[in-house]
Each structure stands twice: as structure tokens, then as C-alpha cells.
Structure 1
Amino acid sequence: MIELAAGNARLGLLPDLGGAIAHWTSGATQLLHPVRDLNLLAQKGRRVAGYPLLPFSNRVADGRFHFEGEDYRLSPNFGGETHAIHGNGWEHAWELELLSDASATLVLSWHPPHGAEVVEWPFAYCAQLRFDLREDSLSIGMLIENTDSRPQPVGMGFHPYFPRRSGLRLGFSADTVWTSDERNLPSLRVPATGAWSFEHMRAIDGQAIDNCYAEWPGAAFLRWPNEGLALTVEADEPFRHLVLFTPPDKPYIAVEPVSNMNDGLNHPGIVDRGVRVLAPGAKLEGHIRFVLTAC
């Protein structure tokens, strides 16, 4: 593990475990919640507090998609599901490219095996993660470059786990949200109103949400009022979707800035699905920032 430091802040990184975050703390306060998810097979039961989603976010239905006249099959990588989930960046060791006391840059080069019928991802790419720690903030820069000889469809995002304690409250704006069918795939796009709305900050209670919000302006707000802590999530283009995961029986929630809608590879007719087609040599880049304040 690599640990960055800035004042009382500490950030642990696991380059060998998919470029994941091991922990982020401020003094004795845990700002992210390390989670052991046995369904994420490549994490091998180790606890992680956040990890990158590359070259797509969330699910690809049954690991199949069609692109530019070709049918592709992806390996299932999540226990109990036939879908491929969260790309394959989190399944591989990243190399440490740059390191200072409060900053680290990780890189990953992926080349699909030649001639394989079922693969993790059928196109070659190079990805970069840059972590910049400050005493009151964490910035994550993400970049993916198409190093293949063909165009490829990509998306990206980051999956942080936040502790569900001390009366946690959440607020954000979004115009619409995708409901899910019984297979956790997008079904209907509906207004983000009523029980779906977090326009007015509210407590995270027993409601079970595992859905993708669309037309998200790039800001979300978490408050732990019993501790006097507040955290703002800021994301620039291309992160205009937000996946919210609130399992009612777990001590954490996930608030995930992502570029593409769930199963976006299989919804080419949706104009703002967030999947970007990169020509050979083209890049997609975005930045996410977590800012800690008192409340």
C-alpha cells in the first residue's frame, strides 16, 4: 500500500488491487468506508474504500453489446450475475508512475488477448489515475486513451463508499432517473421527483436505491450533522450521470460520478447515454473532487 499525507489527512492507495483506495482519513475520522465485497471477484475479499470504473460504468447486459457492425462478448466478473460490471480496470494491477508526499499517478495499459472470443474488454486502451490529497480535499483525475487501431466506445467513473453514520444526509439535483428491472438493468426514465428526489437534502433511511440519475449538474452534498462534518462531491465533464447505491442493511452508501448510463453500450438510441466513441489516439478525461468542510 502507498500512503499519501497532507496535514492530518491520510490516503491509502492499492495500485496492485485495481488502483483502489484503501482508506481516506482526517485525523481519527474515516471519510470513506472500506468494504469487503466478495461479489467483486478480482478484489479477492480485500477491503477497498473506492475504485475506478473503466472503460465503462455499471452493467453491460449479459456481457454482450453490438458496436460498428460487430457483436462482442465480455467475461462475467461479478458473483451471481451474468452481466459484466464496472469495466476491467479494477481487475488489474496499476503501475506507479509518479509519487510525492501528497500526490500519486497510476497507469494501466490493457491489451486484449489475440483471438479470444470472450474477453474482459475487446479494445486496447491506456488509463491514468492521478490522486492529489490536501488537508481538506481529495482530487481524482481520470484519463482513458484509445491505443487500439479501431474506434472504441468508452465510459468511466469512480465508486467511493461513504460511511453511513451519525445521521447521514444527502442532497443533489438531477432531472431524471432510470428505474431498474428485476435484473438491475435500466427500464424507464422518469422525473427525479417524489421518493426519487434529493433536491432538498434528506436523511438516508431504509430506502433501497441502486439507480442511475441523468442530467446531473456535477455536485452532490453529504452531511454528518452529529459530527459537524460536510463533504461536497464536485465533478466536471464528462461526469453527468450519478449512480446512487443505498443498501439498507449496510454501514455505507455509494455516490458514484460516472459518464455513462447503466448498460449504456446497449442503448445507442439515447442521445445523452454518455458513452463516448474514441477514435484511435483520442482521449477522454475528467476530474472529481471531494471537499471536506465543517457544518
Structure 2
Amino acid sequence: MADGVLLLENDERLAVEVSPLGGAILSARWRGTPVLAPTPTPGLASQVFGAEACFPLVPFGNRIEANLFQFEDREYRLEANTTDPLVLHGDGWLERWSVLRRDRQSVTFRFRQEASVATPFAYEAAETIVIDGPRLILSLSITNRADQALPYGLGFHPYFPRTPETRLVARAGRYWSEREGHLPDRPGPIPQTMNFASGSPLPPGWLNNALDGWDGRARIEWPEARLAVSLEADAHFQFFVLYSPSAASSFFCFEPMSHRPNAHGDQHDGGLVRLQPLQTVTGTIALSIEELASG
């Protein structure tokens, strides 16, 4: 096992490699078959290990337009944190977390961010990763440590294998088109190619869209591997982003989020939580692995 890699495993043969670098999951396998897809990203774990399979989104996910936002009569500015011109996915995925607790089947990481010229956010985050039989449970909390109230969000950015027969089941209420800068454009009805309420394959082209009104449930099926994952999120997660470069890609992302991307620019119904100093918000998702019957 490489330095900085922690292995969680159980008698059900669920094995998950994690790292305090970015609080990342590096891989997850069920009886040897991948249920997450290690993928090169701009994250810290990828810089060291070459790829990662999931990372936490804290204190927000996706991008903030123009790297600034208004909140309660004040303007806040941020600096870009990757080669992308817009600040991306917050801080946690680019920093080392400390290990608070660890045993054979769980680990809890902690990360503390101070306000700076690059970000107004000052907070403490904790991430707990647990395996329980065929389940992978991820919890993330944020405590505002700034001197003033600020809008916070959280989420997870998992990479799932994309195979020719992959099917997705997910119910949402509204679809957002994409505009320049990979930002949400306009809300509208869900296109038929993006309607996964009854289960359907992923569309073949570029995907990078937010959906809201999510009921917190999703299911991914890989008939070739006779495997499925059911995802269940708590009430904090009413949004998700679906991302994949193309049908030829080896992965796609189904990203549960507590807020819409770029919600800092429209805070009326975007899902961000106003945290007073020392207030905390917590969200949890669970992935349950199931073996499919042979056809």
C-alpha cells in the first residue's frame, strides 16, 4: 500500500482506498469489480497518485461566476484555484486533511480553512467514510468559523464507470442548460434524453448539466458486470450535476449537491445555507451495492 493510502475493507469483500490528500476516495471495489472509476482530476490526490474516484465538495461545488458574489450587502471575491479561470469546487479537494479516527471499516478526516485574499470562507470540515456490508456511507459537515454569516454548500463528486450498457435511474423536477464557462444557463423542462425517471442509458454527447428538485434517490446499473449501485441522499441534497465528456469516456459523474452550481449568484432558491459563526451543516449519502441476477 502506497504511503498516504488507507484501506477500508470488510468480510463482504468491499474494499475502499482513501487518502487524506483532498479527503479523496482513490478506488472502491466490490469483490474485485470497480464501483467507482479512478480518474485523473485537478485534485490533490490526482497530483500525487495520478487519479481519484471521489472527493468532497466544500464549502461549495462547481464554479462561481466571475469569482465574486454579493451577500448581505457585502461583496466577496475569490481567486481561481486551478487552471480553470473560475474558482472550482472549493478548497477541500486541493488540501491535505488530518486523520481524526480510523479503524478497519471507517475513517474520519478533518480540514480547517482560514480566510485569505483567495477566499472569504473560514471553516472547519469533517468527512467520515464508512463501509458497512455492501454499503459505502459518506458524511460531510461544515462549521462556519468566520466572524460573519456566510452562505455554505456541500456535496460529493464521485466518478462512476461508464460502460456501453450503463443505465441511470434518477428523478428530478427541473433541468438547467449549460452556458459559457460551464455555468448553468436557463431552467426548463427535462429533455427526454435527460429524463432518467424510469431508467435509461446516458446520452451520447457532452454532458454537464445541473438538475434540481431531486428526490435524493438514484440507481446505476452495469448489466455487463451484473452489478448495480443505489444511491440514497438525505434531505440536504436536492440537486445533482451529471457530467461526462462523451459516450467513449470511461466514466461519468453523478454529483449530489446541497445547492445548484453558481448558486452564489442567485441565492433565492439555489440551496445554499446561511451559517452564523459556529453554526454547522451536515449531509450524508449512502451507496448500496447489489449483484444483479444473470439474464
Shorter-chain TM-score bucket reads over 0.9
The answer as to 2:101 corresponding to 1:98 is yes
CA deviation profile, 1:41-81 (whole Å, cap 9, x unmatched)? 784262100000000011101211112222222111232x3
Q: Which segment is superposed worse, 273-282 or 178-187?
A: 178-187
Contact 2:7 2:15 in 1 (8 A): yes
Q: Tell me the distance in 2 between the aligned counterparts of 1:43 and 1:252.
A: 15
AA matched with 1:13: V
**Cα offset, 1:205, TM superposition:** 4.5
Contact 1:163 1:253 in 2 (8 A): yes
Q: Tell me the distance in 2 between the aligned counterparts of 1:35 and 1:91.
A: 15
Q: Tell me the distance in 2 between the aligned counterparts of 1:137 and 1:123.
A: 33
Q: How does 1:170-249 map to 2 (within 5 A)?
A: 170-248=168-246, 249=248
Contact 1:106 1:130 in 2 (8 A): yes
Aligned residue in 2 for 1:50: 54
The answer as to 2:91 corresponding to 1:88 is yes
Q: Tell me the distance in 2 between the aligned counterparts of 1:153 and 1:19.
A: 22
Structure 2 counterpart SS, 1:189: strand
Q: Tell me the distance in 2 between the aligned counterparts of 1:262 and 1:239.
A: 13
Q: Tell me the distance in 1 between the aligned counterparts of 2:271 and 2:112.
A: 23
Contact 1:166 1:225 in 2 (8 A): no
Q: Which runs of 4+ in 1 moved over 3 A?
A: 39-43
AA matched with 1:67: F
Root-mean-square deviation over aligned CA pairs: 1.5
Aligned residue in 2 for 1:11: 16
Q: Tell me the distance in 2 between the aligned counterparts of 1:134 and 1:25.
A: 14
**Cα offset, 1:198, TM superposition:** 0.9
Q: Tell me the distance in 1 between the aligned counterparts of 2:205 and 2:169.
A: 15
Contact 2:44 2:95 in 1 (8 A): no
Q: Tell me the distance in 2 between the aligned counterparts of 1:6 and 1:14.
A: 18
CA deviation profile, 1:206-225 (whole Å, cap 9, x unmatched)? 13210110000000110011
Give TM-score, length-normalised by structure 1: 0.93
Aligned residue in 2 for 1:287: 284
Q: Tell me the distance in 2 between the aligned counterparts of 1:191 and 1:204.
A: 17
Aligned residue in 2 for 1:141: 139
2:123 aligned to 122, 125, 128, which one?
A: 125
CA deviation profile, 1:218-264 (whole Å, cap 9, x unmatched)? 00110011221111111002111011012114200000100110100
AA matched with 2:87: A
Contact 2:62 2:261 in 1 (8 A): yes
Q: Tell me the distance in 2 between the aligned counterparts of 1:233 and 1:42.
A: 24
AA matched with 1:293: E
Contact 2:193 2:203 in 1 (8 A): no
Structure 2 counterpart SS, 1:84: coil
The answer for unaligned runs of 5 or more in structure 1 is: none
Q: Tell me the distance in 2 between the aligned counterparts of 1:136 and 1:44.
A: 30
Change (3 A) 1:292 1:42: closer
What is the number of equivalent residue pairs in this alignment? 285
Q: Which segment is superposed worse, 251-260 or 225-234?
A: 225-234
Give TM-score, length-normalised by structure 2: 0.93
Q: Tell me the distance in 2 between the aligned counterparts of 1:292 and 1:96.
A: 26
CA deviation profile, 1:62-110 (whole Å, cap 9, x unmatched)? 211112222222111232x321111111111000000111011000111
AA matched with 1:287: T
Q: Tell me the distance in 1 between the aligned counterparts of 2:147 and 2:287.
A: 36
